[in-house]
Homo-oligomer: A and B are copies of this chain.
Amino acid sequence: MLSLTMCFLFRSEMEVSDIVKSCNKHKIPIVPYGGSTSIEGHTLAPNGGVCIDMSSLKKVKSLHVKDMDVVVEPGIGWMELNDYLEPYGLFFPLDPGPGASIGGMCATRCSGSLAVRYGTMRDNVINLKVVLANGDVVKTGSRARKSAAGYDLTRLMIGSEGTLGVITEITLKLQKIPQYSVVAMCNFPTVKDAADVAIATMMSGIQVSRVELLDEVQVRAVNIANGKNFPELPTLMFEFIGTEAYSREQTHIVQKIAAEHNGTDFVFAEDAAAKRELWKVRKEALWACFAMEPTFEAMITDVCVPLSQLAELIAVSKKELDASRLVCTVIAHAGDGNFHTVILFDPNQEDQRLEAEKLNNFMVQTALKMEGTCTGEHGVGTGKVKYLEQELGIENLRTMKKIKAALDPNNIMNPGKLIPPHVCF
């Protein structure tokens, strides 16, 4: 049933507005399309329709160095953008999968490993331009960094997954490239110890820029893939930024916290090449998994819980994962309580896919019981739509549906995504 009627590459906002208006008139679904890295089915076309491919709209429209903001088209990738910004000493601090485009990152409210320090897409967008179902081009706000003027249409669009409008322009907050940074790594006997150190670090008031947790299976995957010899134990990786003195001071404070929680082999790097080498462990985690089972596919869970629950969530999940015959690795943005499992399965074996889905479901249910969310950063799409009522309640979904119907009465904008089909009002 995945019949996609047409796919158009767009070159201007006006073209987008024209085709959306036309689709609205003829009640033809549209599916916005960017870097194609989303993993919850956002770009599927269950009812056919027109795919609005924004990948050639990738200009930097204006850079305001003194305002620390930049206006871009949606098709630009975050890595391309950072290459552009580097000579100005600035960067955009969100780092999802390498191919992700800024428009898609807005649409899915993405984040990544730096969210613990800089927030998610929600916190890093100043305003948007959006084409609505009726063809209206809406500017969601001024270029001031803060404003109390009107409904927060910027945030309403961020995370709406193309179901309310097509994003055609984004003004992003930028950050100064840190003067200095230190990368550190530490091993622990249990994932609970590692998670406890992440919590204690956050509670200490230290503003780490990254705190990532990998379980022993993930470290093994890295060793296999890269011919390394890291201790195959639960591991935390940190990045500390600031002045040289402050980066080092933070490192020593956290080293002490780690030691109090059974941490061993605390190492840190200040030299650029050594830092790059250490971070490769985390950056290439997903690809390292495939090195263990090169013909397999990966199902990646994404749940997020209040910080105090992270250790318990991982402990409970690990029991299920370790009991499964599938290879499962754990990666967490531990400072946010955001937890991923990479579950490898043979796509030709239906029972393995079912087993992966069962594990995924188990982790979502566990997170929901802990007042958490079914998705911390990947979005709802079609994959998580079944959990929304349990997480948010029917009154919330009814409200979403009313907003959707008000802005898109013909339900042409990415239909079938985000809002469960059974919701009425």
Contacts and interface: CB of A to CB of B under 8 A. Distances in A.
A422 interface: no
A102 B373 CA distance: 24
A398 interface: yes
A142 B375 CA distance: 11
Interface string A234-258: 0000000011011001000100000
Interface stretch (A22-30, A196-204, A219-227): A196-204
Interface stretch (A76-84, A114-122, A182-190, A210-218): A114-122
A138 interface: yes
A388 interface: yes
A67 B140 CA distance: 32
Contacts of A159: 148, 150-152
Interface in A131-158: 132, 136-153, 155-156, 158
B418 A146 contact: no
Interface string A140-182: 1111111111111101101110001000000000011111000
A15 interface: no
Interface stretch (A274-282, A291-299, A350-358, A400-408): A400-408
A393 to B, nearest CB: 5
Nearest to A117: B207
Contacts of A202: 68
A374 B405 CA distance: 30
A317 interface: no
A398 B245 CA distance: 52
Interface stretch (A52-60, A303-311, A320-328): A303-311
A406 to B, nearest CB: 4
A84 to B, nearest CB: 18
A151 B400 contact: yes
A18 interface: no
Nearest to A304: B144
Nearest to A202: B68
A178 B392 CA distance: 34
Interface stretch (A4-12, A104-112, A262-270, A340-348): A104-112
Interface in A355-381: 367-368, 371-380
Q: Which 10 A-B pairs have the closest CB atoms?
A: A155-B155, A176-B205, A66-B308, A406-B406, A147-B373, A143-B371, A67-B306, A144-B304, A144-B373, A142-B373
27 contacts: A66-B307, A68-B202, A109-B147, A111-B148, A119-B119, A122-B152, A132-B399, A136-B398, A138-B393, A138-B395, A139-B392, A142-B368, A144-B304, A145-B304, A146-B304, A147-B304, A148-B376, A148-B377, A149-B380, A149-B388, A149-B391, A150-B397, A151-B164, A155-B156, A179-B205, A245-B246, A245-B249
Given A140-B392, A153-B399, 10 more contacts: A64-B306, A139-B393, A142-B371, A142-B372, A142-B391, A144-B367, A149-B373, A150-B400, A152-B158, A242-B246
